[in-house]
Amino acid sequence: MKLKPFISPYSFPGIKTNLIQDFMNNKNKNNKHRLSPEDVMKIVSEESGITIPEILSKCRKTEKVTARHIFCYMMVRKFKYTLTSVGEMLQGRDHTTIRAAVIVCEDRTKNEEFYKELVDKVNFKISLIS
């Protein structure tokens, strides 16, 4: 088994250590700006026409559930939040509820054109801001 050589700043005598450090710092700065959950909630609210208190409510009306599911989907799939943390954002919902919401959102996105357009609008607006 061949070992990979260790690369250090001293492996390249012509390159200064500060130059490598600057490169690594700039690389980290180029990461996407991460929106807060409140920002994502606001975008979902604007695009769906459902207010934030209605999204957070326990109401099971289709329009409100749709907005809630899209929020869950974005937070889990796009921003990589855990199911438990998204549940806490939605007033203490269980992680299994969030998992079900993500699955429903994925299924409806595949099968319903209106739903897909709404998810795409939210996703587009998020990508513009971030």
Would you kindly state where each structural domain of the chain is located, as residue ranges? 37-129
Residue type, 79: F
pLDDT value for 14: 52
Q: Which residue has the higher pLDDT, 43 or 11?
A: 43
Query: By C-alpha distance, which of 43, 61, 35, 52 is closest to 120?
Result: 43
Do 52 and 42 contact (CB within 8 A), yes or no?
A: yes
Q: pLDDT for 9-42, tens place per residue?
A: 555 555 445 545 554 555 444 444 578 999 999 9
Q: pLDDT for 52-77, tens place per residue?
A: 999 999 999 999 999 999 999 999 99
Domain 37-129 in CATH 1.10.1750.10: yes
Structure tokens at 25: 């710092």
Q: pLDDT for 71-105, tens place per residue?
A: 999 999 999 999 999 999 999 999 999 999 999 99
pLDDT value for 2: 55
Do 74 and 44 contact (CB within 8 A), yes or no?
A: yes
- Helices (H) and strands (E) counted in the chain, each on its own, are 7, 0
pLDDT value for 32: 45
Whole-model pTM: value is: 0.75
Do 72 and 89 contact (CB within 8 A), yes or no?
A: no
